[in-house]
Amino acid sequence: AALTDRLRSQVSAALKEGRVAPTELCQRCLALIKSTKFLNAYITVAEETALKQAEESEERYKRGQPLGILDGIPIAVKDNFNTAGIETTCASNMLKGYISPYNATVVQKLLDQGAVLLGKTNLDEFAMGSGSTDGVFGPVRNPWSYSKQYKEKCVPKSHSEDEDSDWVITGGSSGGSAAAVSSFTCFAALGSDTGGSTRNPAAHCGVVGLKPTYGLISRHGLIPLVNSMDVPGILTRCVDDAAVLLGSLAGHDPKDSTTIQDDFKPFELPNLTDISKLSIGIPKEYNAPGLSSEILALWSKAANLFKNAGAKVVEVSLPHTRYSIVCYHVLCTAEVASNMARFDGLEYGHRSDTKDSTESMYAATRREGFNDVVRGRILSGNYFLLKQNYEKYFVKAQKVRRLIANDFVKVFRSGVDILLTPTTLSDAAPYTEFIQEDNRTRSAQDDILTQAANMAGLPAINIPTALSERGLPVGLQFIGRSFQEKQLLTVAKWFEKQVQFPVIQLEEVKRHDSGVFQHQKSASFS
């Protein structure tokens, strides 16, 4: 088995058939994590516990009693999910050294199914950002920066310059998880998605990024950014694997009152051959200002792909799209101001040394513990929640949110099954360029294509589609109806098969993986 393998179709089978042992798989992943340390994808590597979990998995396989497809599979988890006994930092000074006493429900589910937790991945502080550049442990580097594909296309600025300075960002805020999957250090990773935080880095890192329907997967233990929009996100190498993860995580959680009560039945994805009954919607407002001509062309090409294969492709309108940025800004900052109120240094986390008074301790703790981005959002949010502002900002934004959600309802009611849109405005920017603009500006720009799905609670997925002229991944997004993940993933899988996105060629992975050369050419394994 190779580290570049797909989860369900390859490595899981290899484990079951004894062609590779869980401990070996785990060790190889850990070794690769070490050699790709420069990516800064991981904040904490839980080497000891991972190996222990791998050993236990091995025992189960020996007895012929594996817990399921995920038994022995190395996975990574974004560092805003609570993991008992393993540091959870949210990439913030506020939670540096914080060891949670409980597992998030999704983490517990993975562990209960025998998954091996390799470590916690890097992110923007408290998931606020679209670059994974604003955490206290430094920025995450996009593995594609070191790919043969990118290096070939990249024109070095000057020979004397540090080779390193051309690296591109992963996107965010789940950049660490996306980079981990992209660089083959794990077979799947958990991210979170509030305004695009799973789909955005998935697009930039060339991996599948699934945002499930709000209420399908438990948020218990996910440190919240915006409670009414957050969902745990799934990052994998292919759509089939995303379906596996979804199946193991979805379902009602009594600990999360916002999960639906309906039974969830895990599904396997059929291989679509006939898409003539499918109706694909192309929302014209997603030809947003700043959309690169490259991506526009790719989007068009994809639409034609569906048309030529017999599907009905129609232009649709989501007229309130352009209001989503300000709407999101108001609602997000308001919830942030509220959610961050608990970080006062009293019960857990960072506490300032100031001893003058409780108030001064709170103020100093929060100033020291939060970065500018977090503090900025708290201030904005509190402003919008002031009694005199509540109606005209918060309530107004809620109403606009309803309009945005209704846009989708109308379109889906008119017979459209799935919407096809770009995921990002362009391919990944170089880090030096990205940090020229501040976090708020960047987030506002980058989230435009992904936010609305969070506002409406709809499922959406990024599928890596092609490489840009710079040799970097570009993805396209599919948005589906509420709780219709099966349909969404089925269509996405069909599309994935058509485009045959190339495998990243990384030197480090070649060294660690014996079988990678054989898989180099083809990306189709099903």
Partner 1 sequence: LAPWVPVVGLEIHAQISSNSKLFSGSQVQFAAPPNSLVSFFDASLPGTLPVLNRRCVEAAVMTGLALNCSINKKSLFDRKHYFYADLPAGYQITQQRVPIAVNGSLSYSLCIDNKMSQMVTKTVRIKQIQLEQDSGKSLHDDARSQTLVDLNRAGVGLMEVVMEPDLCCGEEAAAAVRELQLILQTLGSSQAVMAEGQLRVDANVSVHHPGEPYGVRTEVKNINSIRFLAKAVDYEIQRQIEELENGGTVLNETRAFDSKLGCTIPMRDKEGKQDYRFMPEPNLPPLILYDSKSLPANMNHQQVINIDWIHERLPDLPSVKREKLVEQYGILPEHSFTLLNEDGLAEFFESVVKQTQMKPKKVIGWILKDLLSYLKQHSLTVKESPVSSFLLADLLNLLEKKEISSTAAKQVLVELWKGEGKTPLEIVKEQKLELLQDQKELEQICQTVIDGQENEVIMMVLG
Among 63, 277, 387, 413, binds partner 1 (CB under 8 A): 387
Say if residue 132 is preceded by a cis peptide, omega within 30 of 0: no
Of the pair 159, 355, the CB lying nearest partner 1 is at 355
Of the pair 259, 321, the CB lying nearest partner 1 is at 259
Name the nearest CA neighbour of 27 among 72, 78, 83, 86. Answer: 72
Of the pair 286, 362, the CB lying nearest partner 1 is at 362
- By CB under 8 A, residue 277 contacts partner 1: no
Three-state secondary structure call for residue 132: coil
- By CB under 8 A, residue 124 contacts partner 1: no
- By CB under 8 A, residue 391 contacts partner 1: no
- Tokens 């079988």, residue? 515
- By CB under 8 A, residue 18 contacts partner 1: no
- By CB under 8 A, residue 221 contacts partner 1: yes
Among 19, 37, 255, 511, binds partner 1 (CB under 8 A): 255
Of the pair 93, 317, the CB lying nearest partner 1 is at 93
Of the pair 50, 378, the CB lying nearest partner 1 is at 378
- By CB under 8 A, residue 224 contacts partner 1: yes
Instruction: Single out the catalytic residue among 182, 197, 218, 248.
Output: 197
Name the nearest CA neighbour of 449 among 324, 301, 334. Answer: 324
Among 164, 386, 415, 522, binds partner 1 (CB under 8 A): 386
Contacts of 24 (CB under 8 A, 6+ apart): none
Instruction: Single out the catalytic residue among 57, 78, 174, 182.
Output: 78
- What is the Cα gyration radius of the chain? 22
Among 69, 217, 223, 453, binds partner 1 (CB under 8 A): 223
Residue span binding partner 1 (CB under 8 A) among the ranges 216-224, 231-239, 428-436, 463-471: 216-224
Of the pair 105, 170, the CB lying nearest partner 1 is at 105
Q: What is the rounded CA–CA span in Å between residue 74 and residue 105?
A: 18
CB 76, CB 186: distance < 8 Å: yes
CB 501, CB 524: distance < 8 Å: no
Q: Is 257 a catalytic residue?
A: no
Instruction: Single out the catalytic residue among 12, 130, 147, 173.
Output: 173
Of the pair 117, 208, the CB lying nearest partner 1 is at 117
Among 24, 55, 87, 256, binds partner 1 (CB under 8 A): 256
CB 136, CB 91: distance < 8 Å: yes
Residue span binding partner 1 (CB under 8 A) among the ranges 3-11, 43-51, 223-231, 291-299: 223-231
Three-state secondary structure call for residue 483: coil
- By CB under 8 A, residue 327 contacts partner 1: no
- Cα 177 to the center of its chain, rounded Å: 7
CB 232, CB 249: distance < 8 Å: yes
Q: What is the rounded CA–CA span in Å between residue 369 and residue 261?
A: 38
Q: Is 173 a catalytic residue?
A: yes
- Tokens 């003539």, residue? 276
- Tokens 């949670």, residue? 100
Least CB distance from residue 389 to partner 1, whole Å? Answer: 9
Contacts of 399 (CB under 8 A, 6+ apart): none
- By CB under 8 A, residue 36 contacts partner 1: no
String of contacts with partner 1 for each residue 45-84, x by CB under 8 A: ------------------------------------xx--
- By CB under 8 A, residue 95 contacts partner 1: yes
- By CB under 8 A, residue 257 contacts partner 1: yes
Contacts of 5 (CB under 8 A, 6+ apart): 11, 14, 187
Contacts of 447 (CB under 8 A, 6+ apart): 130, 195, 196, 200, 325, 328
Q: Is 59 exposed, middle or buried (0-12, 13-18, 19+ CB in 10 A)?
A: exposed
CB 1, CB 16: distance < 8 Å: no
- By CB under 8 A, residue 369 contacts partner 1: no
Among 165, 271, 358, 524, binds partner 1 (CB under 8 A): 358
Q: Is 78 a catalytic residue?
A: yes
Dihedral angle over CA of 262, 242, 303, 477, nearest 10:
80
DSSP 191: E
Residues forming contacts to partner 1 in the complex (CB under 8 A) are 81-82, 88, 90, 95, 100-102, 104, 219-224, 226-228, 254-258, 261, 334-335, 337-338, 340-344, 346-348, 355, 358-359, 362, 382, 385-387, 390, 394
Q: Which positions are annotated as active-site residues?
A: 78, 173, 197
